[in-house]
């Protein structure tokens, strides 16, 4: 796959695709989001968006395979992408444990057990990792499920705030987000590489070259649109996990924990690099931006809730921007 990066066709398609993403993120997407937001519940929004992603992806893959002729390399490409992602899913827990020096911790395990009982679920294994303030959930049916919290984050948060973070991470396990996002994340990749393969095939087909090229270019552009939808779906899953953090504790604890993490990275931006460069950043509770245990006031939280955000930054990210997460938490009604 690395050879694609030296292919001028690949480079051109990637550049055009990212331009399409930036255009949509800065113009059309915010307008659509503003009209749709508030009209549906979180769960309904996720169902509708998931149906849209699956229907668009299924339709374009069907059209490629049905109307461009059967190329055995297409099926080989899909199998290859599925195999690579499946292997990553299976082996990533081992890689994470080695990369972050994960170690079992009895004190953290007691917190995880307590929060899991409140959420009526089986507790995963609790591990401490060496990293800037953050937490994440990972694992699979081979390794079991894990909740990881960095040592620095444990020092930063109060007991109640730590429980809120654990509730968020348990929410990811409860909603099976690792497997769900693996499936949805595959779709734009499959569509992109099918389109890319079609464009290459067009140079070898004198009779239908133009038709194959048009279908291929359309597929590439659609793959980036699907990618934006997948990113939006990922943001909804984060809201869903925040909801579990609130259920496990309360709104104030969930808001304070997120605000503390954000303010840490705002004050110490050098610690952002390990997060931004990590291949596992989509797992983190805070994915964009030694612990300082400063108290967070309601005034701090109110200021963060009203902080201006860039539409491009929001729509090209896997996590919702902090102001929207804080406002969403404020709107939650827990029964």
Q: Any idea what DSSP says for residue 285?
A: S
* Integer angstrom CA distances of residue 34 from 31, 39, 117: 5, 10, 37
- Confirm if 311 and 21 have CB atoms less than 8 A apart: no
Q: Any idea what DSSP says for residue 40?
A: S
- Identify the bridge partners of residue 128 per DSSP, sorted by sequence position: 103, 149
Residues 151, 161, 163, 169: which is the catalytic one? 169
> For the purposes of burial, counting CB atoms within 10 Å of the CB of 109, is it exposed (0-12), middle (13-18) or buried (19 or more)?
middle
CA distance 31 to 33: 5
163 in active site = no
CA distance 144 to 50: 26
Token pair for 163: 């429980």
- Confirm if 262 and 241 have CB atoms less than 8 A apart: no
Question: Which residues in 208-219 are b (16+ Cβ under 10 Å) and which e?
Answer: eeeebbebbbeb
Give catalytic residues, as residue numbers: 169
């Amino acid at each position: 796959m690395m050879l694609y990066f030296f292919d001028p066709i690949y480079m051109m398609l990637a550049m055009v695709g990212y331009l399409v993403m930036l255009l949509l993120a800065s113009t059309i997407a915010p307008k659509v989001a503003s009209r749709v937001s508030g009209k549906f519940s979180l769960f309904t929004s996720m169902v509708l968006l998931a149906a849209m992603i699956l229907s668009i992806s299924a339709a374009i893959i069907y059209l490629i395979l049905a109307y461009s002729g059967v190329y055995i390399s297409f099926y080989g490409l899909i199998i290859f992408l599925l195999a690579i992602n499946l292997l990553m899913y299976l082996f990533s827990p081992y890689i994470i444990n080695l990369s972050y020096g994960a170690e079992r911790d009895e004190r953290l395990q007691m917190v995880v057990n307590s929060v899991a009982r409140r959420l009526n679920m089986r507790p995963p294994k609790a591990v401490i990792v060496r990293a800037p303030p953050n937490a994440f959930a990972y694992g699979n049916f081979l390794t079991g499920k894990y909740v990881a919290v960095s040592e620095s984050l444990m020092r930063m948060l109060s007991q109640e705030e730590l429980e809120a973070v654990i509730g968020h991470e348990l929410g990811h396990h409860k909603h099976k987000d690792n497997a769900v996002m693996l499936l949805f994340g595959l779709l734009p990749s499959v569509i992109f590489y099918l389109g890319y393969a079609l464009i290459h095939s067009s140079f070898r087909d004198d009779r239908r070259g133009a038709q194959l090229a048009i279908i291929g270019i359309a597929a590439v552009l659609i793959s980036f649109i699907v990618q934006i939808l997948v990113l939006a779906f990922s943001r909804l899953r984060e809201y869903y996990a925040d909801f579990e953090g609130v259920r496990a504790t309360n709104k104030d604890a969930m808001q304070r924990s997120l605000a503390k993490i954000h303010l840490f990275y705002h004050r110490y931006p050098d610690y952002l690099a390990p997060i931004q460069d990590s291949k596992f950043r989509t797992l983190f509770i805070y994915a964009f931006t030694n612990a300082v245990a400063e108290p967070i006031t309601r005034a701090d939280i109110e200021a963060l809730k009203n902080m201006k955000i860039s539409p491009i930054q929001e729509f090209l990210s896997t996590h919702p921007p902090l102001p929207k997460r804080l406002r969403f938490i404020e709107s939650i009604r827990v029964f």
